[in-house]
Amino acid sequence: MSELEVLENVGSNAVHRLRAETLNAGQPFMINVADLPKDQCYLEYPDHSIHLVSYIKGKNDFVSLKKLSSKDGTLLRKRLGLV
């Protein structure tokens, strides 16, 4: 295994651990995806729902644009390797 592959595994494991800890603490986990506009991301909640949200400047908050269906949430998790 190359040094780059080792670093990728370490980073991936850290994200998976942080996600689990965040959700277990009852907090939403932010999922950034490169193909979304810069002010949008997904928030995954402890109840397993995922919302597409947009950041509101000046309020330091997010507004939900869309709640993903259970199927779409599962597809997103699979695509991002979060399953």
Question: Residue 64: what pLDDT?
Answer: 95
Domain span at residue 25 reads 3-80
- E strands present in 1-83: 29-31, 40-44, 50-56, 61-67
Taking the CB of residue 35, how many other CB atoms lie within 10 A of it? Answer: 5
Question: Residue 79: what pLDDT?
Answer: 94
Segment (H or E) for 33? none
Distance CA 75, CA 34 (A): 16
Q: What is the pLDDT of residues 16-49, one digit of tens each?
A: 999 999 999 999 999 999 999 999 999 999 999 9
Q: What is the pLDDT of residues 58-73, one digit of tens each?
A: 888 999 999 999 999 9
Question: Residue 57: what pLDDT?
Answer: 86
- 19: three-class secondary structure by DSSP: helix
Strands 40-44 and 61-67 turn out to be unpaired
Question: Residue 41: what pLDDT?
Answer: 97
Domains: count for the chain: 1
pTM, entire model:
0.87
